[in-house]
Amino acid sequence: MKNKNAYIAIAIVCVILTAAITVQIRTMKEENSAVSIIGANSELKDSLLEWKEKSENAEKDLDKSLKELEKIRQASATNNNNAEEKQNELKKYNQLLGLTDVTGDGIILTVSDSNAESTSIDLSNLLVHDTDLRNLINELANAGAEAISINDERIVSTTCITCAGNVIQINGNKVGSPFVIKAIGNQESLYGAITRPGGYTYMLKARAVQVEAKKTSNIQITKYTGALTQKFIETSK
């Protein structure tokens, strides 16, 4: 009797076992195509994270070495009068290049994707594109802006603004809506240039994109965090 019970129990476990194995095999067969895609995706994600970490580390290293350089410069400047002059010159040029944090009066322009219902046929009209940012930067520079940044990405001589799918790349870094454009310069002329009738913000507003311009004093604009390197150019004689 005891033996019979044992056989029944083993048979029941066998039923569960084989049922589970069959279900598992069928699931794996069904999901096989999807699985490979998921695997590839996770690999890509991993490598992306790795590279991001590397780039962050490199940025930190750059920051450190820049600080060291600054220290060395100051140390050498204290010994020499001539060097101090050079130091000031260096600072001025760095500021011109956009390699220093700067403050000043100017305007802050906030541009974000429309949240209107998509009544228009072209959904693309409701979004802020790279060309929109380029045109706004152009307007600001034309009005005499001395320093411009978008979401803390400083606009320098090598800056490029490109479309990267659902985000925009500035200086190789991804930024997304809302875009906060800070510009330092003559407040009146900057504000006038941005809000003038028929200007670019007029066109943006016609597309239901949200644009808001504000005159602000003591705007902080951070420095360009990348490296400005030149491999191919030489000073012509």
Partner 1 sequence: MMGIAIVVGCILGVLIGFITPTIPYTVSQYLAIGIVAALDSVFGGIASNIKKNFDMKVFISGFFVNAILAILLTYLGEKLNVDIYLAAIIVFVGRMFNNLGIIRRYYLGILSQKKNKNKQIKKEETDN
Instruction: Based on the shown chain and the rule CB under 8 A, indicate whether residue 2 belongs to the binding site for partner 1.
Output: yes
DSSP string, the chain: -HHHHHHHHHHHHHHHHHHHHHHHHHHHHHHHHHHHHHHHHHHHHHHHHHHHHHHHHHHHHHHHHHHHHHHHHHHHHHH-HHHHHHHHHHHHHHHHHT-S-EEEEEEEEEEE---S---SS-GGGGS--HHHHHHHHHHHHHTT-SEEEETTEE--TT--EEEETTEEEETTEEE-SSEEEEEES-HHHHHHHHHSTTSHHHHHHHTT-EEEEEEEEEEEEPPP-S----SS-----
Minimum Å gap between C-beta 38 and partner 1 is 8
Query: Which span sits near partner 1 by CB under 8 A: 19-27, 69-77, 180-188, 217-225?
Result: 19-27
Q: Which pair of tokens denotes residue 43?
A: 């690999």
Instruction: Kindly write out the interface string for residues 32-51 of this chain, putting x where it contacts partner 1 by CB under 8 A and - elsewhere.
Output: --xx--x-------------
Minimum Å gap between C-beta 25 and partner 1 is 8
Minimum Å gap between C-beta 45 and partner 1 is 14
Instruction: Based on the shown chain and the rule CB under 8 A, indicate whether residue 115 belongs to the binding site for partner 1.
Output: no
Instruction: Based on the shown chain and the rule CB under 8 A, indicate whether residue 142 belongs to the binding site for partner 1.
Output: no
Q: Which pair of tokens denotes residue 82?
A: 């001539």
Minimum Å gap between C-beta 79 and partner 1 is 54
Count of residues of this chain found to bind partner 1 when the rule CB under 8 A is applied: 30
Instruction: Based on the shown chain and the rule CB under 8 A, indicate whether residue 167 belongs to the binding site for partner 1.
Output: no
Compare residues 20 and 75 and give the one whose CB is closer to partner 1: 20
Minimum Å gap between C-beta 51 and partner 1 is 20
Task: Pick one of 18, 74, 103, 142: the residue that binds partner 1 (CB under 8 A).
Answer: 18
Q: Which pair of tokens denotes residue 49?
A: 């994270």
Task: Pick one of 21, 75, 167, 203: the residue that binds partner 1 (CB under 8 A).
Answer: 21
Instruction: Based on the shown chain and the rule CB under 8 A, indicate whether residue 8 belongs to the binding site for partner 1.
Output: yes
Instruction: Based on the shown chain and the rule CB under 8 A, indicate whether residue 24 belongs to the binding site for partner 1.
Output: yes
DSSP 3-state of 121? coil
CA separation, residue 85 to residues 78, 92, 94 (Å): 11, 11, 14
Query: Which span sits near partner 1 by CB under 8 A: 30-38, 76-84, 165-173, 199-207?
Result: 30-38
Instruction: Based on the shown chain and the rule CB under 8 A, indicate whether residue 62 belongs to the binding site for partner 1.
Output: no
Kindly list the residues in this chain that would bind partner 1 in the complex (CB under 8 A): 2-3, 5-24, 26-28, 30-31, 34-35, 38
